[in-house]
Every structure is written in C-alpha cells, then in structure tokens.
Structure 1
Amino acid sequence: MGRIDAALALATRHRRSLTVAMVLLVAGIGFAALRLVLREVHLSDVRAALAEVPRARIAAALALTTTSYLLLTGLDWVALRSVGRPLPWRIAAAGSFTSYTLSHNLGLSLITGGSARLRLYGAAGLAFGEIAQVAAICGLAFWAGVAGAAGVGLIVGDGVVLGPVTLGPGLSRGLGAVLIGLLAVLPLLRTRGITTLGPERFGVALPSLKQMASLGALSLADLTVASAALFVLVPAAAPGAFPGFVVAYAVAVVVALLLHVPGGLGVFETVVLASVPGDRPALFAALLLYRLIYYLLPLLVAAIGIAGAEGWRLRHPIRRGLSYVDRAGQLLAPTAVTVLVFVAGFVLLVSGALPGVKDRLSDLDDMVPLPFIEGSHMAGSLIGTAMLLVAPALNARLRSGWAAARLLLVGGAIFSLLKGLDYEEAALQLVVAGVLQYCRASFYREGGILTDRPRWPWLIAAAAALGLSLWAGFFAYQRTPYSDELWWRFALDGNAPRFLRASFAAGVLLTAASAWQLLTASRTRTLPDALPPEGVLDAALAASTRTDAALAFTGDKSFVVSAAGDAFLMYRVQGRSWVVMGDPVGPVAAWSELVWSIRRACDARAGRLCFYQASERMLPLFVELGLQAIKYGEEAHVALAGFALAGPKAKSLRHAVRRTEAAGAVFSVEPAATVPALMAELAEVSAAWLAEKAGREKRFSLGVFDAGYLSRFPVALVRVEGRIVAFANIWTSGDGEEASVDLMRHRPDAPYGTMEAMVVRLIEWARGEGYERFNLGMAPLSGMPSGRLAPVWARLGHALFANGERLYGFAGLRAFKAKYGPDWVSRYIATPSGVAMPRALIDLARLVSA
C-alpha cells in the first residue's frame, strides 16, 4: 500500500506532464496505426486521386462546411437564451465560430474553445458562470447530435459494415433505437420539473423543451452536414451508402474526442479508413481534402478575420474602440496571428518533406542551377522551423517577434518558389505576411525573441509539427530503401535525400533553440529580497507620481527592472500568486515592458498574477494581460491649495487642534538625518501602540517599524513636555506633487485628538513645502456599487463595508479621512478571471494581513 500511495502522490504532482505524455503516446499510436492502414498506399496514388476529385465536389464540400459552421452558431445563439443572456446573432456567431475552429483543430475543447468563449462573451458582459453554462449546453447538444445522427443512420440503413464489424439490419435498427431513446432522457427530466443537471450549485441549467428541440435539431443537422462534406469528396460514393457512412463518421468523431488527440489528427483518419470500404488511396485523398476544407480553412479564416479586425481598430481609434468586436479582437488578435504564422511554418515543413511536382521541377531546372534548388529546399524547412519558434514572441506582442516573422514569411515565399515552383504555399506565406504587416501596431513591446524560457505547450507543439512532417516524409518515401548514400545524393529527382537532409537540419535547429532557452537563465531581471541598484532607484523614484513607491524599502519584496534601468515594479509571491504592489515605479512608457516581463516570468512558473492597489492608469494593461479588474476601494487625496480650517465642515478638526495644543502638544517635522538619534523613544511609542492594538507589523502594503527603514524618511512628531507621544514617517513623491504618511502611532496617554491634529499640521507643512496634494491613504471597500445590476463582488464588498465594522472598521476609517474634505480616487485589484480569482484573492488576503 505504501508503494501505491507513493505512486499516486507522484502521479498527482506530475499530472500535467503525465497527461501530455499520454496524449502524445495516443497520438503516436494513432499515426502508427494509420501507417499500417496505408502500408499498401503510395503517395503517387494519393496525388492521382486528388487530381481526379471533381471541382464540383470540392465546391459542394465548401458549401456544406459553411452550412455546418452556420448551424453551430445556432447552438450558441440558443444556449445564450437558455441561460437568460440573449445576445445578437453576430456576437453568438463570432463566439461560436472562433470556439469551434479552435477546438476542432487543437482539441481539448474546454481549454481551447472554452478560452475563446470566455474572452469573447466576457467582453460582451457575461459572467464566468454564465459562459460555463453556455459551453456545457453546447457540449450536451453536440453529443446529442452525434447520438441522433448515428441512431438515424443505423435505423435507415440496411445494416452497417464498420471494417471488420458487420451489423445486420435487426441489430442495427435496435441499436439505433437505443441511441434515439437516450435523447429522450433530458426532455423527460425537464417535464418532471428537474431544471438542473448535476449539483444544484454547480450543475447545468436545462433549457426549456422548445430550446432542447432547437438545440437537438441544430446539432443533428450539423453532424449530418459535416459528414456529408466528407462523403461528397469520396469517389464513387453511392447515395444509398450515406446512412452507414454517417455511422462510421460518428464513431470516428467519438473516438477522436475520447482520446483527446489535438484535432483528432491521425486517429480520425485511421478510424474512417478502417471503417469505410472502398479504394484506400481515394479515401485517404478525400480525408486530406476534408482536413483542409473543414478544419484548416475555417481556422485560417477565423485567424485572418480577427487579425484584420484588430488592424482596422488600430487604424480607426476614434470611430471604434469601445464596441464588443473591438474588445474581443484586442484579446484574441495576438493568438490569431500566432496561429497564422505557426500554420505557415508547418506548411513549409510538410512541403519540405514531400516530393516536388515533376513538371514544375523540370521547368525550374531550366531557370536555376541544381545547387539553388537543393539550398532552397533546406532553407524552406529551416525557415518553417524558425516560424514555430518565433510564434510565442508574437503571442506576447513583441516587436522583435513581428519583425522576425515578417522576414521569415517573405523568405519562405521566395524559397517555396525556388525549391519547386510551389506557388500555392508561396501565396499563403505572402498572405500571412500581409496580415502581419496590417497588424503592425499590435506589436509594440520591447524584448528579444528568446527573452524568457518557453512554456512547454510551445515546445510540444513545435515538436509535434516537426513529427508530423517526418511522418509525411516517411509515408511518401516508404518504398524507397534506405542507404547511407541517400544523404550524399544530389539530383533533380533526389526527393528522398532532400527530405532526409532538410528534416535533420530542422531537428537540429529545433533542438538547439529549445536547449538554449531551457538551459540559459531568464533575462527578466528579478532581484528577490534586494533593492535595485542605486542608479535604478534614483531614476525610477524621481519619475514617480505616487508616494507608495517608498514601499520598495520595506525589505520584503522582489523586483523587476526595466531594460533601460529607469523603472521597476515590486512584487511578492504568496503561494502560487505573484502579487504586484501598486503601479510600476518610473516613467509610464516603461510600464508595459515591466508588467509583461513579470507576466511571462509568472506564467513560466505556473503562477497566478495579480495586482494590488493599482490606479486607473493600469486598467488598459489589465485588459491586455487578460486580468479582471475589481474596485478595491478609494484613496483620499486632499487638494492642498483649497484646504482650510475655516467653515462648519472643519469644526471637528479645529476642536482637535485646540484641544491638543491646550494639553501642551507641540508639532514638529524632523529631517531623516536626525531620526536615528530618536529611534529609542520612537520604539517605545510603537511598542505601546502595538500592545494596545494587539496586532503585529504588516510589511507588504504598509511600512514597518525598522530602524533602517524609518531612517530614510522625515518624521513628524508630537511632543508633550518634551516627551514624544506620537509620530508618523512622511512619504513624498519624486515629482514633488504628493506627500503622505505611512506609520502613524501614538502612546495610549496621548491627548485626545492628537492624530487628527497631527494630520492637520502635516497637511499645512506639505502645503508650505510646495506639494499639491496630501494622500491620506486607502479606505478599503468604500465607494462600491450596491444596486441590483452591480457585480457580485461589488455587492459583497458594499455589504462588508456597511456591516463589517466589528471586523475591521471600514466605515470608521473612511469617516476619519472624510473630515479633511478629500477627493476620492478609485483603486483596483486585478486577478485572473474564472476559478483562479478566489484562489488569488485568498493568497492576497494572507499576504496583506501577514
């Protein structure tokens, strides 16, 4: 039992790696099985079969593909209404089309398609739970469509033959009736008053009977049309064989989905080839065309559409920019361009693995010498591999990634022509380069392509792309016997030697680049628990507009420093959460570089990035980072030019000043140089204050009583008969506009009103020193909306503010600061959306209260 428990614990710790390994293993088995199925099929036969497919059938497949995706948009449109959040069809269509193109090609629909729905529908105002409900309803409808189509095919057909398995008419119809009967389960539950499938709190809300009927009809029609798009590409396909073909298609879809192979690649083709009788080369040619038409073409259309919308938005910032389409495009555009470049690189790799067209090679041989053809073939494969490595830099909006990808795409187009007059793939490279150029403004961040360590999905995807090209090459040359001489043979018809040399070079490049990134340290400049160099501190603090930049000196934070050395941000890791304190310190122009540096470092370590007490100027960056901003409370800013003790509103302040002065209190500000001599007496005041509060020092968002820390700042003192009874250390901003206080502590026997009077004198002192505003600090949870339409977190915060006085004294703290007539400025927390939000908030609460 001990060994079993240890094995289970090990599997739990490495479940992500084991899952990836399992998917890769299944995919490898699928391609091995596909190779066995195609062992008697030659590439020349497949090419001949492709050339014989009538254009009318290709046009019919394109039309059926379009119809299928239109039907899928109806699923989202109905599902949105079933959860009570109806949206216009164009929005549902965008969410559906993007989601299904990603999930069809990449698999793992909850992650890929679910992520697209989360961003698109989230930009339209839906909450995470509502989006999850929509995805779940669409998933149930899809499986209902699979069962319904297979059931109808079994009932209508006169028996079904699935490779070695033969179902007679009676058994076929009986099995079909069972599948159709299963579809009645959910409507039956609905008629009995059951409205939720699963636990009431986390279950799926069942649509109405009318909506169920609509979803079922749409899903059934979609699977039928999708299978017909493949059926029309199969040569000599008799209409009477369509019912059995639908059953085989449904089985292939189910197997591919259950095995979680991305896009069902290899697995889907193997099941269809093993299940559908007929000419193997012609059927495989039909599957290749279907993969291109139904999978890759919609993915390219979606990616080009999203990238084009982002490029249009950047060129029309006034006419558009606040609409749903603009917000959704801004979120998805980097991913879309990344997909385009990755696909372009993959096409170059596969093209380099396959033999060139003889007639085109002969024409090319008349124009350029053989060394140019050989070198161009090698260069094309290397460029394709380089595109796979550049793709992550595009996803991070790096300008260097954009420049490198553009150069590679143009080079890929040139070498595609020089290696075999492959004008089709050259056109694809130029189209992607044009889209990239159109979206140029989207890529503005500084940093090198290999700035940070890669995330494992990129390396796995690149390795899988190279593996697929190798499989294609070995399939193409399976009848070519291997010999060492192949490596050194250079001839116009030497396709197999060119494949070996190009694949070896591509593998070396991918391995070398991956090893370089994995073995070298990240260039993100993080300085754990140590202050940045003096030059960085001086430059950043001089440009700071906020006084809380002084929290850099508390000694508990790590730092990210800009490449120019003029800005930094401070953060601390709590659990898996990387919590950034406030805004970055330094010029605003460096903020984007800093937040994306910590984002990449955080992602590389599977962390959750969140920001605490950020200003409104950070909100656009939160949108780009994919974080959800939550109003945390309001900060009190006193405009010093208009502050006065006259008038009825300042009555309590005048009373406090008079009362403390009558008790003999004397206010003074001591420069930082004199603070060390006062430290012993200040420590007595701090200890008495902490004993009365029964609390402890909090370092992250507040200063700490530490001799080294306090000696950096001027200190305001209140003395009675020469004895210090209260003190506060003073923060000032580098731009000379803001002053504030950090620690405010007093003895229990200090005169009543001492703290109010000290703040009044501090405000007057700051005005005399030429500052424009005095920052009284945060009033947590204040100013939050509480109406029926307010977000859940806002209503919860308002309830805590109104009723949580015993826990923290939220209302009392705001009332104290309101005496000084401040302007209230919103401050925000930003966390990942969805299920990661509560975990990040828990870590944040632990950090701030520690």
Structure 2
Amino acid sequence: MRRFVACIRTHKRSLSILAALIVAALGFSALFGLLHSVRPRAIRHTFDALSTAQIAGALALTATSYLLLTLYDSFALHILGKTLPWRTAALASFTSYTLSHNLGLALLTGGSARYRVYRAAGLDGGAIGSVIALASLAFWNGVILLAGLAAATSTQILPFFDFGLSLHWLHIAGIATVTLCLIPMLLRHFGLRAVEIGGWRTPIPGPAKSAAMTLVAALDLAAASAALFILLPAPDPAAWPLFFLGYALAIIAALISHVPGGLGVFEAVVIAMVPGDKAELLAALLAYRVIYYLLPLLLAALLLAWHESRAWHGPAKQLAAAGQSLLRELAPPLLAALVFAGGLILLLSGSTPAEAARMHDLKHFLPLPFVEASHLAASLAGTLLLFLAPGLLRRLDGAFVATRALLAAAILFSLAKGFDYEEALILAGIVAALQWSRAAFYRKTALIDAPLSTGWIAAALTAILASTFAGFFAYKHVAYSGSLWWQFSLNGDAPRFLRALFGIAVLLAGLAIWRLLAPSARSVRTSAVSFDQLEPALALADRTDAFLALTGDKRFLLADEGDAFLMYRIEGANWIVMGDPVGNEDRWSDLLWKLREKADAAQGRLLLYQIGARTLPQAIDLGLSIVKYGEEAEVDLDSFTLAGPQAKTLRHAERRAEQAGAEFAVIAAAHVPRHIAELKAVSDDWLRAKKQREKAFSLGSFDPAYIARFPCAVVRIDGRIVAFANILATANGAEMSVDLMRHVAALPYGVMDFLFIRLIQYARDRGFRRFTLGIAPLAGVDGRRLAPTWARGAAFLFRHGEMLYGFEGLRSYKAKFATRWEPRYIAGPRGMAFAQGMAAVHRIVSRPPATKKAAAPVAAPV
C-alpha cells in the first residue's frame, strides 16, 4: 500500500493530466455516440440558417449576462464596505470571467486577473479573497434558485430522468432545491456572521443583500442560457424551464470535470439532457461558443487600456499612460487565452471540410502541393500555439517572438489552404493585440527552460482531442483505408485531416522527447554571489527583512540588471524563499518564475515564506496555495505617542526603567566590534535563561560578522549593557526594525519596553515612516467552525499554545506599540506537499548556525 501511495505521489502530475484527458475523452466519446445518426451536412445547414435576428438576440443576451456578472463584484465590494468605481469592478470581473470561461484554470487565469486589478485599486489580499468568495456564493445560489424554479414549473421530464420519476416529484424536488438558497441567511440568523476561507475572513451577507446577489446571479444565468436557447431554430418559450435544467446540469458537469472550458463535456450533457433535434442543438452550441466565449475574450483584450478611472476623461496622453499602467498585469493572461483560442481555431479548421467554392477558386492561384503543405503547416502551427500560450502568461520574450512569427505564418497558411479569410482576420487581430502589448513580455528565459504546468498541458491536449473528434465526426461517412493517406486532390479533405493528425502526433512526440532530454537544472554550473553584489538591490529595499540576506545561510538568485534578488534555501525537495524579493519590484515576477522553473526542473517544490501582499499576485500566477501565516506589528511613527490612556502601561514601564538607572544609546556599526564580547555575554545569558538555541533563516543569530554590519541599540545600567538589539534600517527611510533582541536574565521591570520606546523615538527623529516589531505567528487566523482544518488548528494553537511558543502573549506584547497589523502569508504547494514544505521550514529555522558559514559568499544556481 505504501508503495502504491508513493507511486501516486511520484507521478501525481502525470496522473492529473491523464485523469483530465480521460474525462475529456469520455465527453467526446459520449458526444460522438449521441450524434451517431446526425450528418455533418445537417449541422452545417442549420448553422448557416441562423438568422440575423437570432445572432443579434444572442449578442444582446450575452452582453446582458456579462453586465450582470460585473454586479457580482459590485455587491461583494459593498458588503465589504469597500468603495470602488463601477468601472474598476467591471474590468476585474469581466476579464476574470472571460479568461476562466475560455480556459478554466480559474485561479491561475481569472483569479489572477481579478487580483491584479483590485491590487492596483488598493485592496488587500483578504478583501480580494472575500470578493471572490462572495461572487462564488452568489453564482451557486443563482444556479440553485433558477434550477429549482425551472424544476418546479416544468411541464415535461428531461429524457435523462425518464425512468419513472413523475412530474409531481420533479416539482417537489424543485421546491426543495429553492429552499437551499436560504442556508446563508439561516447561518447568519443563528449567529454565524463570517467564515474563514483561505485565511481570509469573509462576512456572510444579510438577508436583503443575499437576496439581491442571488437575484442578480439568477438573472445572469437566465440571460446566459437564453443566449443559447434563442439560437435554436424554433425556440418555444414554454420549453425554457426544461431547457434550463439541462443547461444547469451541463454547467455543473463542466465544473466538476475540470476539463478546460468544459470543452466537450458541456456540449455532451446539453445534447443528452435537452430534447430536440441533435443537429440543431449542436449548431446552436457551436454558435454559442463563439458568441458567449470567444467574442467577450476579444473584447476584453480591446478594453485592456481602459482601467484607470481618472484617465477615462483625460487627454489622450493620460489615456495612453493608463493603458500602460496595467499592460504588464493583464496583457499576459488575456493574450495567452487569445493565442490558445487562435491555436484551437486553426486545429478545428484543419479538421473540418473546406468551402468547395473557395477551393475551386484557389486552384487558379496555387498549385495543389502548396495547398496540401499549407493545410499541414496550419495544423502544426495551431498545435505549437497551444503550447506557447503559457509562455506568454509567464511574460517570456522568446514566447512572444515565436508566437508572433507563428501567427503571421498561420495567416498565410489559412489563406493558402482554403482562402479562410475569416480565420486570417481573427489571427491578424491577435497579432495586432500581441504587438501592441510588446512591453509586457520582458523575460529573457529560454523557452526550453520554462516548464509547462499540469493545467496547461491538460488544456492543450484537450483542445487537440476536440479537433480530433471534430475531424472524425465530419468524415464519419468516409470509408477509411490505407490508400486514403496517399490521396491528393483539392476535394480530399479527409486525407488532409489524417495527414495533419499524424503530423500533430509526430510533433507532440518530438516535443515530449525534447523536454525529456533537456538538461536538468541540477547539472548546471553554479557561481558565487557575494554580499557586495546585493548592495544595489538592498539600497532599493523598503522592508528591513531584506537584510536577512546578510546572515550567511542563504542562496541568492540575482536579476540580470543587478538591482533585485531573492533569497532561498533548498531543503530536500523544498525550495524555500524567505520573504518578498528585494529591490526593483519590476524584476520580482521574473525572479520568482526563474526559481520556479529551476525547482521544477530539479523535481522540487517552491514555497514562499512570510511574504507580503505585494507578492501575492505572483504567487497566484505560480499556481501556489495561499495560507495566512500571521500579522506583522507596525508602528506609524507620525501617529505614535505616549500620551493618552492607551499608553499608560508604556509610561509606567518607562518610569520604572529610568528609576532603575536605565540609559539608552546607539552604537554605530563601526564601533560594534569593540563591544562584541560584552554583547555576547548578554546573548549567552539570554539563551541559557530561555533554554533556547540560535535560530536561522528567518532570524539572525549572534554571529560577530553579522552583528557588526549594523548599528546596535543598547540599554546600560550602571555602565553595564543589560539589553541590546541590532538595528535594521532601509536606505530610503521607509522602515526601521530590529532583528536580535537579547537581555540578561536578571532584568529590572520595564527595561525592554524602555528599549522599544527609545528605538521608536530614535526612528521618528531620523525621519523614518514606520517601525516594525516583527511578526506575530498565527495572529489574525480566524478558526471558526466552518473554517478550513488548518485555520481551526492554527487558531487553537494561538489560543492554547502558550507552553509551546507563547503566540497570544507575543501578539499582546507587540500590540502595546503597534498602530496597525499587516498580514503575512505562506504560498506553497497544495495537500501534503504543503505540510512537508512547512516541516522543511521548521528544520532550517531551528538548525544551529554551526552548520552555516556566516560571512562567506553563497553559491547559487544560475
């Protein structure tokens, strides 16, 4: 059994891809079986017969649906008490939903886009997580309400349910389903005002707001389903309740299947559930995919520049600047989705018959070999675009250049293989959007070094499966034989499809072998990064934990420009990054992706430890799970005061320390070596009294080389040092803090409070903006009954774990000084891998410093 479990863990990635492909294959197989009596010509005829009124109606209902989707976020923001312009909420929700509708991968694409828009608008991670949670609650409430009402009012039974279920019981089931919408209201009625989701506290809306959000979701789903319903040749309004039941079940099946975009699964369930002519249903579904999925994606790309509310009515120069402000944020996911869609269009076009009239005209311009070669080349280009799309999401310069070249070539191939000018125009539009967004793709990483995520591989292979299904369905009347491979004619669509399919299979095999034989990052030469090389980035730092780089126990990944770096350790299979990247924030994404790629090539797992809100968008892009770790106590130096009743205990402690003879002083870094022996005596006394040993990685240790790099604040009594703390301060005056804080065992009351009071005043007098007292682990993690297991465990430890660490006491002590609390997070792999990563963090933090060299340069893979 253990071997079996270990085998599953080892091949988890491959098994996940295989599972997604099996589900997709089952969906396409079911679809093929359902359409066994349908002739492709009938679908084409029905598709061509769609009237202008039907298309206009579907477009209007699609616009209504997406407009209502924007209200999900508006209501959620109102519940959270966040005031943002509707334009901002609309952009966030519209781009998020268009991406997740087309690709699935909701967190990586849609969630990331929403996060970036709201972060630019000033929301923190907790508020954004709550917006997403409330929008999801509204959506499912809408599904439940509308499905229940449809079942309660339906005058027919779905074919799938025609196994003895009477209409009477269907109506009862519908009424019972509607009552499920009342669950959030009942929870609130019985005292549950909020739930903890992913470390973020999300309020449960009151009855009025919950009803409003549910109504909006129901209207959105009604409009979305009606956009498909109206595309049927003779839609009967009385049949809409039955139709919506099938539509709702198709949505649920597509979400549960995890097939990207629900491709194949959604269509199969609709055709199986909804009564009517199957050719008409499939033609309507194809038109619906274009109108409801592809067109909004194209529109989202065009709306990319329209974000900054102030620039909407400003001059053209301001508008251009506004477009550029989010260019690097939203362009990559939007264009990745567009390129993926372009690749799928090329594959589907190559799998279906060409227009006979256009082929007849084409023979006067191009010889047959050019047509055959163009058809094969277009299908291969479409396949490559599927695998280049994730490179755009990662902002790779090489992916941009290769994609642009492939799209330009594909335009020519589309015209040469059958004069598909509509297809060529779509591809030209994608090329134009890609070129306009050139500045967003700045990473120089080689394409071969960029790993493909599980979700993207599954999405690409599902798209290829879709085109394969389309081809075999389109040519199911053809008698396949060995001679078919060698038939070349202008009307030989089936042979061209088979040759293209073989070419795609060879290309996929070649890509797999190429990746398999690529050199491992573990064999790459290493080079040393000296502390001097870190100085340009440290000079730009605005958080003092950047100076933990100088403890001597970390590796570094340095930006090519030298103005940014990240610090990390490798413990087993875990690549653990300490804090946010340091330096120029424009380099952060590039550095994190580079380390992610190196870890992936070495079969390792990435974990980001104690990161702030600014790194959360990159962590989401990396596909990591976000967990709240605790809160950092910050003192706003402009508002800190010892006056007032809230500072009574501090004033008392200050007086008691002064009465004991306490004197505060700061020893300059140049003079610290003279006092090392006295400081070490204090440190040793502190370690003995606390029965602790030195820590590492996330804290400094008493290493003379490290201590001598910084000024040191001391408290003397009768000329003897009784307490000290080394001072960390950013060059730009943004923040001051301390790392090591040690004192003798026999310390008079109030001395440590006295030390912090004087340090805070010292920082304020020198023009710093804030003083940080460090992190209170597990603080702010709400462990309510419905919270995740880890959150409930963390909250229990915080409340009852004083003997282990003193979590609550530490927070209470820092709260005496703090004027605000900033959340800190851990981002890591999901499941047991996260627990293994945290165990690795514990090992490297608890490891005695004897295992490291304090002042030596650290070797890092490059």
TM-score with structure 1 setting the length: 0.71
Q: 1:27 aligns with which of 20, 24, 29?
A: 24
**Deviation digits for residues 770-793 of structure 1 (CA, Å, limit 9, x no counterpart):** xx99999964369xxx9xxxxxx9
Q: 2:169 aligns with which of 175, 180, 184?
A: 175
| Distance of 2:133 and 2:421 partners within structure 1 | 44
Q: Which moved more, 1:702-711 or 1:449-458?
A: 702-711
| Distance of 2:232 and 2:713 partners within structure 1 | 86
Matched, 1:135 2:136: yes
Matched, 1:402 2:396: no
Who is 1:47 aligned against?
44
Q: Which moved more, 1:297-306 or 1:234-243?
A: 234-243
How far off is 1:472 after superposition?
A: 1.3
| Distance of 1:835 and 1:535 partners within structure 2 | 32
How far off is 1:395 after superposition?
A: 0.8
**Cα-Cα RMSD:** 6.3
Mark the runs of 5 or more structure 1 residues left unpaired by the alignment: 638-650, 718-722, 756-771, 787-792, 819-823
Cα pair distance change 1:602/1:119, threshold 3 Å: farther
**Deviation digits for residues 689-725 of structure 1 (CA, Å, limit 9, x no counterpart):** 64355432223255546699899999999xxxxx999
Cα pair distance change 1:165/1:536, threshold 3 Å: same
Q: 1:293 aligns with which of 250, 274, 291?
A: 291
DSSP 3-state at the match of 1:559 = strand
Who is 1:267 aligned against?
265
How far off is 1:137 after superposition?
A: 2.9
DSSP 3-state at the match of 2:458 = helix
Cα pair distance change 1:420/1:808, threshold 3 Å: same
Matched, 1:151 2:145: no
| Distance of 2:476 and 2:394 partners within structure 1 | 40
Q: Which moved more, 1:236-245 or 1:803-812?
A: 803-812
| Distance of 2:382 and 2:462 partners within structure 1 | 13
Q: Which moved more, 1:622-631 or 1:131-140?
A: 622-631
How far off is 1:496 after superposition?
A: 2.1
How far off is 1:357 after superposition?
A: 1.2
Q: Which amino acid aligns with 2:48?
A: A
Who is 2:591 aligned against?
594
Q: Which amino acid aligns with 1:698?
A: K
DSSP 3-state at the match of 2:232 = coil
Q: Which amino acid aligns with 2:136?
A: A
DSSP 3-state at the match of 1:350 = helix
How far off is 1:424 after superposition?
A: 0.8
Aligned runs of 1:58-457 on 2, under 5 Å? 58-78=55-75, 81=78, 89-107=86-104, 123=121, 125=123, 126-129=127-130, 131-154=132-155, 159-160=156-157, 162=159, 165=162, 173-182=167-176, 185=179, 195=189, 201-202=195-196, 208-211=206-209, 214-215=212-213, 217-238=215-236, 241-306=239-304, 319=318, 331-457=329-455
Q: Which moved more, 1:401-410 or 1:235-244?
A: 235-244
How far off is 1:364 after superposition?
A: 1.5
Q: Which amino acid aligns with 1:367?
A: F
Q: Which moved more, 1:289-298 or 1:688-697?
A: 688-697
Q: 2:566 aligns with which of 569, 591, 606?
A: 569
Q: Which moved more, 1:694-703 or 1:391-400?
A: 694-703
Who is 2:783 aligned against?
none
Matched, 1:467 2:502: no
Q: Which moved more, 1:398-407 or 1:118-127?
A: 118-127
Q: Which moved more, 1:624-633 or 1:495-504?
A: 624-633
Q: Which amino acid aligns with 1:65?
A: T
How far off is 1:6 after superposition?
A: 7.8
Aligned runs of 1:491-502 on 2, under 5 Å? 491-502=489-500
| Distance of 2:814 and 2:97 partners within structure 1 | 52
Cα pair distance change 1:321/1:814, threshold 3 Å: farther
DSSP 3-state at the match of 2:566 = strand
How far off is 1:431 after superposition?
A: 0.7
Aligned runs of 1:505-584 on 2, under 5 Å? 505-521=503-519, 533-534=527-528, 539-541=533-535, 545=539, 554-563=551-560, 568-572=565-569, 579-581=576-578
How far off is 1:60 after superposition?
A: 2.2
How far off is 1:340 after superposition?
A: 0.7
Q: Which amino acid aligns with 2:359?
A: L
Q: Which moved more, 1:203-212 or 1:471-480?
A: 203-212
Retained in 2: the 8 A contact 1:128–1:834?
no
Cα pair distance change 1:241/1:577, threshold 3 Å: same
Aligned runs of 1:636-647 on 2, under 5 Å? none
Cα pair distance change 1:555/1:370, threshold 3 Å: same
Retained in 1: the 8 A contact 2:138–2:217?
no
Mark the runs of 5 or more structure 2 residues left unpaired by the alignment: 638-654, 715-719, 753-765, 781-790, 847-862
Q: Which amino acid aligns with 2:495?
A: P
Retained in 2: the 8 A contact 1:556–1:700?
yes
| Distance of 1:617 and 1:218 partners within structure 2 | 32
Q: Which moved more, 1:703-712 or 1:459-468?
A: 703-712
DSSP 3-state at the match of 2:478 = coil
| Distance of 1:15 and 1:378 partners within structure 2 | 34
Retained in 2: the 8 A contact 1:622–1:830?
no
What is the identity percentage for the equivalent residue pairs of Structure 1 and Structure 2? 39
Q: Which amino acid aligns with 2:39?
A: H
Who is 1:765 aligned against?
none
**Deviation digits for residues 106-130 of structure 1 (CA, Å, limit 9, x no counterpart):** 4576886666655555656335345
How far off is 1:342 after superposition?
A: 0.9
Aligned runs of 1:653-732 on 2, under 5 Å? 690-691=687-688, 694-704=691-701
Retained in 2: the 8 A contact 1:636–1:775?
yes
Retained in 1: the 8 A contact 2:538–2:547?
no
Retained in 2: the 8 A contact 1:153–1:247?
no
Q: Which amino acid aligns with 2:413?
A: F
Cα pair distance change 1:172/1:780, threshold 3 Å: same
Cα pair distance change 1:746/1:192, threshold 3 Å: closer
DSSP 3-state at the match of 2:154 = helix
Retained in 2: the 8 A contact 1:579–1:612?
no
How far off is 1:429 after superposition?
A: 0.7
Q: Which moved more, 1:226-235 or 1:310-319?
A: 310-319
Q: Which amino acid aligns with 2:169?
A: L
Q: Which moved more, 1:292-301 or 1:190-199?
A: 190-199
Q: Which amino acid aligns with 1:175?
A: W
| Distance of 1:254 and 1:727 partners within structure 2 | 61
| Distance of 1:78 and 1:368 partners within structure 2 | 58
**Deviation digits for residues 148-184 of structure 1 (CA, Å, limit 9, x no counterpart):** 1233233xxxx446279388xxx76423431442255
| Distance of 1:658 and 1:272 partners within structure 2 | 79
| Distance of 1:740 and 1:188 partners within structure 2 | 49
**Deviation digits for residues 180-231 of structure 1 (CA, Å, limit 9, x no counterpart):** 4225525777897953698974599765555555455544444444333333
Retained in 2: the 8 A contact 1:716–1:727?
yes
Q: Which moved more, 1:418-427 or 1:239-248?
A: 239-248
**Deviation digits for residues 445-488 of structure 1 (CA, Å, limit 9, x no counterpart):** 33222333222212221111122111211222222233333333
Retained in 2: the 8 A contact 1:67–1:225?
yes
DSSP 3-state at the match of 1:780 = strand
DSSP 3-state at the match of 1:450 = helix
Retained in 2: the 8 A contact 1:195–1:206?
no
Who is 1:761 aligned against?
none
How far off is 1:492 after superposition?
A: 1.8
